[in-house]
């Protein structure tokens, strides 16, 4: 049997009503065993599959959730997505993945598309450099459950799953200090983004707690690309008083830093120690493995998804909102372990 078939096609063929077919297919208890079997067999034979669009329209539930990330080719994000899928697939949800490429317009556009598609919820890592919350407000006004992960904004009524980025920055910096470093530079991400600001604040606090004066020449804001890491590191190395270590908020920037430092014929970690952030796989595989901070992405995804499930299955009038903060894990490797 070719083409798409509906319950009406089955009904017509069996000379019964569509309602009966529907009931049989849904294992409604008040249907005769004989009819049920007949319907199921015919459905298979006719290659029937349920039209979830119709079901969604009828029920007001699409069983789709939208996931919005800056980009999927970062191991961190693809791992979060894996966690989300592992939690949501068994519950019958389909996951629609969108990439914002850190572009505000694309973010807005994707959110509108997801709302139009009647998703049952949106899990997102928000760009969040802007003050405007137009897109977010649209979601909230439509009462669509919204959960932030990793990159969040503090908005009433929105749950979030993040790591303690302050602590991550603190641990990374403290580790460098413990290794004997005194002149610690920080290659930060966009400081208008909360996670990067938190990591930077952790860095500053660690300096303070260890009686090291913050040197503003040692702080450079840069985007998460290898090339930017090279450029920024060149600036650091050209200072009259260059740093003896670098804590980067991005593994890719850390990699760029390493490339640049090697060009200057300096030894890592003895001349300059490096710590990155995110535990991208390559940090482990490099000959000179990179010390970094792990963010438990799969777990983060699972938790974000389960928070969504809690919210969507919440029949009470009491709205559930959670702010979950996971601990970061410093992974010490060769790039910062002096011999």
Sheet with 184-188, side-by-side order of all strands: 219-221, 184-188, 245-248, 273-275
- Give the SS3 label for residue 164: coil
CB–CB of 14/45 below 8 Å? no
Q: In whole angstroms, what is the distance from residue 320 CA to residue 317 CA? A: 9
Query: Which of residues 164 and 294 has its CB atom nearest to a second copy in the complex?
Result: 294
Q: Are 111 and 88 in contact (CB under 8 A)?
A: no
The pattern of x and - marking residues 50 through 89 that bind a second copy according to CB under 8 A reads xxxxx-xx----x-x------xxx-x--xx-xx--x----
Q: Which stretch binds DNA (CB under 7 A): 22-30, 67-75, 126-134, 157-165?
A: 22-30
CB of 308 to a second copy, least distance (A): 18
Q: Is 295 in the site for a second copy (CB under 8 A)?
A: no
6 touches, from a second copy, DNA, none (C-beta below 5 to 8 Å by class) = DNA
Residues 37-56 that bind a second copy (CB under 8 A): 47, 49-54, 56
Closest CA to 240 of 277, 260, 215: 215
Least separation in angstroms between residue 145's CB and DNA is 18
Residue 53 beta carbon to a second copy: minimum distance, rounded to whole angstroms: 5
| 205 touching DNA, by CB under 7 A | no
2 touching DNA, by CB under 7 A? no
Q: Which of 18, 72, 212, 332 binds DNA (CB under 7 A)?
A: 18
Sign for the pseudo-dihedral over CA of 136, 142, 143, 146: negative
Residue 141 or 339: which CB sits closer to a second copy?
141
> What whole-number distance in Å separates Cα of residue 328 and Cα of residue 151?
14
Across the chain, the runs of DSSP E, i.e. the strands, are: 64-69, 94-99, 121-124, 146-149, 159-163, 184-188, 219-221, 245-248, 273-275, 292-294, 323-326, 329-331
CA distance 231 to 260: 8
The DSSP result for 70-99, as a single string, is: S-TTSHHHHHHHHHHHHHHGGGT-EEEEEE
By CB under 7 A, residue 19 contacts DNA: yes
Tell me if 22 contacts DNA by CB under 7 A. Answer: yes
Of 10-18, 77-85, 255-263, 323-331, the window that binds DNA (rule: CB under 7 A) is 10-18
Interface residues for DNA in 36-75 (CB under 7 A)? 48, 50-51, 54-55, 57-60
The footprint of DNA (CB under 7 A) covers 4, 6-8, 15-20, 22-23, 25-26, 28, 30-32, 34-35, 48, 50-51, 54-55, 57-60
């Amino acid at each position: 049997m070719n083409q798409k078939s509906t319950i009406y096609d089955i009904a017509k063929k069996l000379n019964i009503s569509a309602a009966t077919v529907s009931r049989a297919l849904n294992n409604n208890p008040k249907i005769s065993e004989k009819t049920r079997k007949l319907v199921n067999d015919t459905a298979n034979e006719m290659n029937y599959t349920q039209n979830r669009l119709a079901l969604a329209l009828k029920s007001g539930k699409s069983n789709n959730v939208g996931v919005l990330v800056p980009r999927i080719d970062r191991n961190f994000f693809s791992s979060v997505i894996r966690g989300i899928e592992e939690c949501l697939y068994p519950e019958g949800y389909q996951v629609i993945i969108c990439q914002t490429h850190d572009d505000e317009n694309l973010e807005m556009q994707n959110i509108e598309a997801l709302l139009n598609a009647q998703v049952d919820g949106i899990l997102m890592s928000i760009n969040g450099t802007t003050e405007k919350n137009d897109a977010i407000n649209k979601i909230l006004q439509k009462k669509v459950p919204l959960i932030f992960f990793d990159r969040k904004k503090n908005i009433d009524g929105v749950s979030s799953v993040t790591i303690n980025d302050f602590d991550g920055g603190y641990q990374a910096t403290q580790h460098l200090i413990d290794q004997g470093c005194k002149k610690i530079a920080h290659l930060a991400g966009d400081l208008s983004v909360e996670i990067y600001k938190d990591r930077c604040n952790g860095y500053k606090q660690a300096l303070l707690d260890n009686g090291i004066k913050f040197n503003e020449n040692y702080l450079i804001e840069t985007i998460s690309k290898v090339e930017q890491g090279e450029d920024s590191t060149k600036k650091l190395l050209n200072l009259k008083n260059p740093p003896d270590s670098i804590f980067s908020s991005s593994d890719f920037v850390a990699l760029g830093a390493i490339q640049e430092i090697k060009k200057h014929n300096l030894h890592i970690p003895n001349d300059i120690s490096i710590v990155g952030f995110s535990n991208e796989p390559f940090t482990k595989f490099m000959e000179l493995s990179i010390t970094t901070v792990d963010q438990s992405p799969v777990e983060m995804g699972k938790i974000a998804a389960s928070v969504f499930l809690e919210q969507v299955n919440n029949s009470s009038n009491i709205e559930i909102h959670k702010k979950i903060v996971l601990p970061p894990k410093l992974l010490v490797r060769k790039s910062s372990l002096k011999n």
